[in-house]
Amino acid sequence: MTSSRDLAAFAALLADETRAGFALALLDGRAWTAGELARHGGVAPSTASEHLGKLVAGGLLSEERQGRHRYVRLADDRVAHLVEELAAHASPGPPPAPRSLRESTVAGALARGRTCYDHLAGRLGITITGAMTARGLLTQDAGFALTDRGTRWFGDLGIDLTAKGRRPLVRGCLDWTERRPHLAGVAGARLCGHALDAGWCVRIGSDRAVKVTDDGERALHTLLGIEPGILR
């Protein structure tokens, strides 16, 4: 049984603005160096190292060293799911107005489409999830579940849903910009990987934002009936 002290100690890991900022940055699924996160958070390298040590010790991050560099990433998809859901619950109202043109551009791109660890989120993720549900590939009646038709759909695309470990095949992840669940789990991750590999989506900028390409618009219209204009 988890004690109240254990729960409070775990919650305290993200109760610091710098550490919370690191966790949000790492939702892009990449491994970052301590120096990159220090610059991202606007803190000294020594301060970043101290914060990262706490996150690693608390099990939220994993780390590996290559030569002089120390790389960190979110420990697993469960941590990513937790961070994304906390972000959604922490922002119950409309987002604050951007303070600059760059903030406005970045915020708009992230809201249109982004990766949440290793699956698609934002309007893009929500639209795909809704289209899959409408076409009977996915059900959301009692949690997320892939139908037999949905399993065949993935197979027809050549997407292998075989998974190792205890990661669920599908699950809903509360989207912090759309306030609705998008597709996560093994199926969500493999679909995101396929979309990037097939050129349906491309990453833009240094953030998590992704943009649907012309090929992607055609593919998603053919496969899921998604109108191209919705994704722009």
Q: What is the pLDDT of residues 209-220, one digit of tens each?
A: 899 999 999 999
Lowest-confidence pick of 130-144, 174-188, 189-203: 174-188
- Which of the four pLDDT bands, split at 50, 70 and 90, describes residue 98? very low
pLDDT at 23: 93
Q: Which of 92, 50, 106, 102 is nearest to 179 (CA)?
A: 92
Phi-psi region of 74 (alpha: psi -120 to 50; beta: other; left: phi over 0): beta
Residue 34 burial (C-beta neighbours within 10 Å; 0-12, 13-18, 19+): buried
Instruction: Return the HEC string of 184-215.
Output: EHHHHHHHHHHHHHCCCEEECCCCCEEEECHH
- Which of the four pLDDT bands, split at 50, 70 and 90, describes residue 103? very low
Q: Which of 58, 34, 59 is nearest to 48 (CA)?
A: 34
Amino acid at 91: S
Does pLDDT of 91 surpass 70?
no
Lowest-confidence pick of 120-129, 169-178, 194-203: 169-178
Lowest-confidence pick of 18-27, 99-108, 137-146, 151-160: 99-108
Does pLDDT of 167 surpass 50?
yes
Contact 147, 203 (CB under 8 A): no
When the pLDDT of each residue in the chain is averaged and rounded to a whole number, the result is 88
List Cα–Cα distances, 211 to 118, 171, 205, in angstroms: 15, 23, 10
pLDDT at 192: 95
User: What is the Cα–Cα distance from 125 to 130, expressed in whole angstroms?
Assistant: 9
User: What is the Cα–Cα distance from 90 to 228, expressed in whole angstroms?
Assistant: 32
Domains of the chain: 4-75 (1.10.10.10), 79-231 (no CATH)
Tokens 């050129």 belong to which residue? 199
Does pLDDT of 165 surpass 80?
no
How much is the average pLDDT of 40-60?
94
